[in-house]
Amino acid sequence: MILGHAATAALGRRLTHAPWAALLLGAFAPDLMDKPLGLLGLTGSRAVGHTGVMLLAAGLVCLLLIRFHRLRPATALAFLGMWIVHLAGDLAAPRMLFWPLLGPLPQPSGEGIWAALRGYAFFYLRPDFTRAMFWLDAGCLLAAGLAWWPASRRKRV
């Protein structure tokens, strides 16, 4: 759901006017942690970055940055909010969210880097209309498009 996560950041920008960097970083943070390790076959494609433990750790880091580096609380909330939206958009299972309380993280699939990359590409090139993730992605793109479209038309008039 690469485009869908970007769309949620765009929607967040439209609704909150928070900095793009915080919104995009929060929208992609779990994948930025987990996808490279997953592509290398070290973890599943969703691992510790998609857990509540990591979200709590990110929240603690934000608190420290607010206290010692003057990070604006609204910016931290935008970042953490997009992280939560990412987990919701991924339809993260309770086992992931509450790791390690409900069991271990999924094991690496062992399919290899090219199969994983092909899977990401085929998500858009050969969409599976029966999958909820496809429609969730499409819904995020539609919502962001609707949120931004009227503003862009107003500027031209």
Q: Residues in the site for Zn ion, rule: CB under 5 A?
A: 30-31, 90
Q: Which is nearer to Zn ion, 106 or 148 (CB)?
A: 106
What's the closest the beta carbon of residue 27 comes to Zn ion, in angstroms? Answer: 10
| Spatial CB neighbours of 47, under 8 Å, sequence gap ≥ 6 | 33, 34, 37, 38, 105, 106
Q: Which is nearer to Zn ion, 31 or 137 (CB)?
A: 31
What's the closest the beta carbon of residue 153 comes to Zn ion, in angstroms? Answer: 33
What's the closest the beta carbon of residue 29 comes to Zn ion, in angstroms? Answer: 9
What's the closest the beta carbon of residue 92 comes to Zn ion, in angstroms? Answer: 8
Q: Which is nearer to Zn ion, 120 or 155 (CB)?
A: 120
C-alpha 48/C-alpha 152 separation (Å) is 39
Phi, psi of 43 (to 5 degrees): -140, 180
What's the closest the beta carbon of residue 67 comes to Zn ion, in angstroms? Answer: 29
Q: Which is nearer to Zn ion, 132 or 151 (CB)?
A: 132
SS3 state at 150: helix
Q: Which is nearer to Zn ion, 90 or 137 (CB)?
A: 90
The dihedral region occupied by 41, where left means phi > 0, alpha psi between -120 and 50, and beta the remainder, is left
| Spatial CB neighbours of 26, under 8 Å, sequence gap ≥ 6 | 9, 78, 79, 80, 81, 82, 83, 85, 86
C-alpha 26/C-alpha 75 separation (Å) is 10
